[in-house]
Amino acid sequence: MKGGLGEVDKDFFIGIQNNVIAVIEAFTDSHSKQSKKFIDASEQIVMPGLINGHTHLAMVMFRGFEDDRPFHEWLFNRILPLEANILDEDFVRIGTELGALESIRFGTTTVNDMYYFSEATADVLDKAGMRAIIAKPFIDFVVPDEKTLSNPLQTRSERYKKFHAQYRKHPRITPALGPHAPYTCGDSLLRQVASLAGETQSPIHMHVCETSGEVKESLEKYGMKPVPRLDGLGMFEGLLIAAHGVHLDNTDIEIMKRKIVSVVYNPDSNAKLGSGVCRVPDLRKAGIPVGLGTDGAASNNDLSLFGAMDLGTKVQKLSHQSNTVMVALDAINLATLEGARALGLEKEIGSIEVGKRADIITLRTDYPHTQPLYSVLSQIVYAYNGTEVDTVVCDGKILMENQKHQTLNARSIYERVGKLKLRVQEEHKKMKKAPGY
Q: Indicate the residue among 57 and 328 with the shorter CB distance to Zn ion.
A: 57
CB atoms within 10 A of CB 69: 13
Residue 61 carries which DSSP code?
G
> Per CB under 5 A, which region of 33-41, 70-78, 295-303, 366-374 contacts Zn ion?
295-303
Which residues, other chains included, contact 220 with Cβ-Cβ below 8 Å and sequence gap of 6+? none
* Residue type at position 293: G
Q: Are 341 and 422 in contact (CB under 8 A)?
A: no
Q: Indicate the residue among 72 and 285 with the shorter CB distance to Zn ion.
A: 72
Which of positions 95-114 make contact with Zn ion (CB under 5 A)? Answer: none
Q: Indicate the residue among 256 and 273 with the shorter CB distance to Zn ion.
A: 273
Q: Indicate the residue among 252 and 295 with the shorter CB distance to Zn ion.
A: 295
Going by C-alpha positions, the residue among 361, 370, 422, 420 that lies closest to residue 41 is 361
Separation CA 437–CA 383 (nearest Å): 41
Q: Indicate the residue among 129 and 296 with the shorter CB distance to Zn ion.
A: 296
> Per CB under 5 A, which region of 25-33, 76-84, 142-150, 293-301 contacts Zn ion?
293-301
User: From residue 242 to residue 281, what is the string marking binding to Zn ion with x (rule CB under 5 A)?
Assistant: ----------------------------------------
Q: Indicate the residue among 266 and 313 with the shorter CB distance to Zn ion.
A: 266
| Widest pairwise Cα distance in the chain | 71
Q: How far is the CB of 180 from Zn ion (least distance, A)?
A: 9
Q: How far is the CB of 54 from Zn ion (least distance, A)?
A: 6
Q: How far is the CB of 181 from Zn ion (least distance, A)?
A: 9
Residue whose beta carbon is closest to Zn ion: 295
Separation CA 15–CA 351 (nearest Å): 14
Q: Are 394 and 82 in contact (CB under 8 A)?
A: no
Note whether 214 binds Zn ion by CB under 5 A. no
> Per CB under 5 A, which region of 10-18, 169-177, 257-265, 291-299 contacts Zn ion?
291-299
Q: Indicate the residue among 268 and 295 with the shorter CB distance to Zn ion.
A: 295
Q: Indicate the residue among 119 and 295 with the shorter CB distance to Zn ion.
A: 295
> Per CB under 5 A, which region of 186-194, 292-300, 352-360, 420-428 contacts Zn ion?
292-300
Q: How far is the CB of 219 from Zn ion (least distance, A)?
A: 22
H-helix or E-strand containing 219? helix 212-222
Separation CA 286–CA 431 (nearest Å): 46
Q: Indicate the residue among 39 and 206 with the shorter CB distance to Zn ion.
A: 206
Number of residues located near Zn ion, criterion CB under 5 A: 1
Q: How far is the CB of 210 from Zn ion (least distance, A)?
A: 8
Q: How far is the CB of 151 from Zn ion (least distance, A)?
A: 28
Helix (H, G, I), strand (E, B) or coil at 287: coil
Q: How far is the CB of 296 from Zn ion (least distance, A)?
A: 6
* Residue type at position 361: I
Report residue 268: phi and psi, to 5°.
Answer: -65, -45
Helix (H, G, I), strand (E, B) or coil at 113: strand
H-helix or E-strand containing 19? none
> Per CB under 5 A, which region of 34-42, 66-74, 294-302, 429-437 contacts Zn ion?
294-302
Q: How far is the CB of 299 from Zn ion (least distance, A)?
A: 7
Q: Indicate the residue among 295 and 310 with the shorter CB distance to Zn ion.
A: 295
Report residue 261: phi and psi, to 5°.
Answer: -125, 135
Q: Indicate the residue among 77 and 378 with the shorter CB distance to Zn ion.
A: 77
Q: How far is the CB of 94 from Zn ion (least distance, A)?
A: 20
By DSSP bridging, strand 108-114 and strand 50-55 are parallel
Separation CA 54–CA 295 (nearest Å): 5
Tell me the CA distances in angstroms from 72 to 143, 214, 262, one per residue in order: 18, 10, 25
> Per CB under 5 A, which region of 128-136, 290-298, 310-318, 353-361 contacts Zn ion?
290-298
Q: How far is the CB of 103 from Zn ion (least distance, A)?
A: 15
Going by C-alpha positions, the residue among 215, 224, 244 that lies closest to residue 53 is 244
Length of the chain: 437
In the chain, what is the straight-line distance between the N-terminal and C-terminal CA atoms, in Å?
Answer: 51
Note whether 210 binds Zn ion by CB under 5 A. no
Q: For Cα atoms 181, 182, 188, give the angle at the middle one, nearest 5 degrees.
A: 110
Note whether 295 binds Zn ion by CB under 5 A. yes
What stretches of 200-309 adopt beta strand conformation (E)? 204-208, 240-244, 261-265, 290-292
> Per CB under 5 A, which region of 58-66, 73-81, 288-296, 364-372 contacts Zn ion?
288-296
Q: Indicate the residue among 101 and 242 with the shorter CB distance to Zn ion.
A: 242
Q: How far is the CB of 266 from Zn ion (least distance, A)?
A: 7
Q: Footprint of Zn ion on this chain (CB under 5 A)?
A: 295
